[in-house]
Structures are given as C-alpha cells and as structure tokens.
Amino acid sequence: MNKNTINAITNRALLGYDLLPDEGVALLTQTDPEAIAVIRATANQLRQQQVGDTVTYVINRNINFTNICEQHCSFCAFRRDEGDTAAYWLDWTQILEKCQDAVQRGATEICMQGGLNPKAQINGQSLPYYLKLVATIKQEFPQIHLHAFSPQEVQFIARIDGLTYGDVIEALRNAGVDSMPGTAAEVLDDQVRRVLCPEKIDTATWLEIVSMAHQLGLHTTSTMLSGHIETPVQQIGHLEKLRSLQKTAVNKGYPAKITEFILLPFVGQEAPKSLRRRVGRDQPVLADALLLGAVARIYLGNWIPNHQPSWVKLGLSGATEALVWGCNDIGGTLMEEHITSMAGAVGGTCMDVNTLQTAITSLGRPYQQRDTLYQKISINNQITHSV
C-alpha cells in the first residue's frame, strides 16, 4: 500500500472519522518504517486530542482468589487441578489480610478474579459463594472499589445455578461489585477461540454478558490477548466488536459502558507446549504490540478514550514507550499478580507509585492518580507537571 493511502486513512482519523475495518487492517499490516511512524504520530495526536497529555494511574491490588479451574485454555499457565502441588484457594482470612494490606498502601481498588473452581459453592450453589466473597470484603472495607468477576465467571455461576446472566450480574452488583473486568475476551473470533480457549464462552456470549452489565449499571473494561495465532483481520474484527458494543451502550443510553481498552500481549514462556510451539516465542514482540496499540487508539478512541498497556507483559520500559503510541494510562500498582507471572512474564508483579510517576515524567508528561472509573483523586495527588 502506498504512502498516500496511509496518509489518507490517518488524515480521515484526525478529522474525527471512525476507521473502516479494511482501513484498520491496512494500518496493521504496514512494515515500512515511514508508514509506521505516521501511524504512531497519528495515534499520539489523537490521544492528545481525546484525553490530553496527562497520564493516569490507579493504586490497586489484584487478588486471584483461586487457581483451581475446570477449564484448560491452551495459553494458560495459571490454572491447576484440585490436589496439584501448586493449587491454591484463599480462605476468607487470607483475602481480608490482602485487602487490609492494600488499603494501608493507599489502594482505591481491589481487582478480583479467579479460576473456575467447581467446589466454590455454599449449600450446593455457586452464587452464594461469590456473594459471600463480595460481602466479606465490602463489610470490612466499604470504601474500596471492587472490580470483580469476568464475563466467563458470570457464565460459570449462571450455568451451575441455572440462572440468567442478568440474575447473576444484578446479585453481584447489589452485593457490592462496582465494575466488571472485560477479561476472558482473548480474541473475539470463534475460530481463534476454538484453538485458544475451546471451553470458554463464545464471542456472542461474551458480548451479551458485557452488554447486560452495561444495561444493569456496571461499567466494564475491555481487553485483547494479542500476538499468538490471530491475524490482523481477526484483530480488527475484535476492535470492531468492542466499538460496536460501546456504540450500543452510548446510543441506547445505558447507565454504564466500557471505561478503557487494555492490550495484553501473549506471554508464552510457561504456556502449554502445543500453543508455545505454534507461536514460536516466549515473550511479546514490542514492535507488534506498539503498532497494534496505536491502531487500537485510532480505531476505538472516539468511543473508548482510555487506553492502557500492560507493564506486567511488556515491562515498564515497554509500557512507557506505549505512552507515545496512543496510550494515556499506565495501569495500576497491582501489588501482586499471578496469571501473567506464572506464564513467565518479565515485567514483575508489583509497581510502586513513585516508579510509575518517574516513568511518566521521563516523557515530560504530567501524571494523575485516578480511580477505577477514571475520576481524578485529588488528595495529595493534584496533577503534577514534570519539570
């Protein structure tokens, strides 16, 4: 594709038009350094227009409450069967200790997800266990924002208990869940999912559950697991589905919507051998992640303005670089992280606030602490401009 065509596509984006799918694919398949530089500059300019120069971050803690899981996703090095040496399932005391530690360290958010543990039940039902999990945290720490339970977990609870997705989401919301992680999306293409996660919910179910969350007033995030077996056409198809989902939430006036897009490059070092052999590398290719992140900004930014890289998967230097390829948020402190670290990620599992702030100021950009829903947190954290 010639340079004029790339310029025409990026100029349309800068004028505020949404990219067409074939235009997104055209950008993603560029290999010429000059064309890629234009894409990067366009993403960076759109980021500045859509959300400004301030880079946000959140003080949060991940709690992966169990790694016992009934499913066998081909990319997952986290899951274990009950009785395996490394299998774990946190009890209520351990969960509260982690929450207490998080609050003492200034966390405003607990992000909680786990494996699909068939034994996670009370009186033979799944939902009461999850409701107790929520209540245990919220009774002790009512001020904490609980960002919990993926669409896959919602389907798991609904299937076991014979409930609708709406029943489950409403019960979790009423118990104290404040927003839903848009994980388990992987790539929203059933051909990819049949290889990557054949036991997981299909694309239509993921979209249905997220849309139901929006209708019931729970904001969600959105993600893409990239850089494994998917094609550029499938990547753009994923972005198109997310954009369409957000358009529906906005145009129909739902009380909630997608708050952010997070690119999650595949880490394969400890992944099951069949997929690891097929992908052929252990760590993400930074250049591929940066280009996809830039195209995601161009494709989604009119509808989903907040974009975040993964320092766990790319390392802090890679995540910092992504801030000049269209990202405006550097994510959270996490405090602990098991799913990606068990896959062999090199980025670490905890990041202190000063380290995140230093990375942001190295770009000459101001930083700002935010909450889960991207509201500024001003106590001792006014917008700080780099010198």
Question: Is the CB of residue 71 less than 8 Å from the CB of residue 197?
Answer: yes
Please tell me the predicted confidence (pLDDT) of residue 238: 98
Tell me the whole-structure pTM to 2 decimals.
0.92
How does residue 296 score in pLDDT terms, banded at 50, 70 and 90? Answer: very high
Question: Is the CB of residue 286 less than 8 Å from the CB of residue 308?
Answer: no
Q: How many residues does the chain have?
A: 387
What are residue 260's phi and psi, to 5 degrees? -160, 160
d(CA 369, CA 148): 21
Weakest mean pLDDT among 66-80, 163-177, 362-376? 66-80
Please tell me the predicted confidence (pLDDT) of residue 335: 78
Please tell me the predicted confidence (pLDDT) of residue 387: 25
- Looking at residue 380, the DSSP 8-state letter turns out to be T
Q: Which residues pair with 258 in a beta bridge?
A: 220
Which H or E run contains 113?
strand 109-113
- Looking at residue 343, the DSSP 8-state letter turns out to be G
Residue corresponding to tokens 């699909």 = 116
Please tell me the predicted confidence (pLDDT) of residue 78: 79
Q: Which long-range contacts (CB under 8 A, 24 or more apart) does 381-385 make?
A: 383/54, 384/357
66-97 burial, b at 16+ Cβ within 10 Å, e below that, comes to bbbbeeebbbbbbbbeeeeeebebbeeeebbe
- Residue 382, pLDDT above cutoff 50: no
Weakest mean pLDDT among 67-71, 159-163, 339-343, 377-381? 339-343
Question: Is the CB of residue 225 less than 8 Å from the CB of residue 178?
Answer: no
Residue 358: strand, helix, or coil? helix
- Residue 337, pLDDT above cutoff 70: no
Query: In this predicted model, what pLDDT tens digit does every residue of 90-136 receive, in sequence order?
Result: 999 999 999 999 999 999 999 999 999 999 999 999 999 999 999 99
Least Cα distance to 62 among 318, 307, 377, 339 occurs for 339
Question: Is the CB of residue 26 less than 8 Å from the CB of residue 233?
Answer: no
Using a pLDDT cut of 90, give the percent of the chain over it: 81
Q: What is the mean pLDDT of residues 336-351?
A: 54
Q: What is the mean pLDDT of residues 153-175?
A: 98
Torsion of CA 280, 283, 285, 290, to 10 degrees: 140
Query: In this predicted model, what pLDDT tens digit does every residue of 252-269 receive, in sequence order?
Result: 999 999 999 999 998 755
Please tell me the predicted confidence (pLDDT) of residue 385: 34
- Sheet containing 109-113: give its strands across: 60-64, 109-113, 145-148, 179-180, 219-226, 258-265, 307-308
Query: In this predicted model, what pLDDT tens digit does every residue of 183-239 receive, in sequence order?
Result: 999 999 999 999 989 999 999 999 999 999 999 999 999 999 999 999 999 999 999
Please tell me the predicted confidence (pLDDT) of residue 45: 98
- Structural domains of the chain in order of their starting residue, each with its CATH number: 54-369 (3.20.20.70)
Please tell me the predicted confidence (pLDDT) of residue 281: 61
Please tell me the predicted confidence (pLDDT) of residue 169: 98
Which H or E run contains 179?
strand 179-180
Weakest mean pLDDT among 146-160, 311-325, 335-349? 335-349
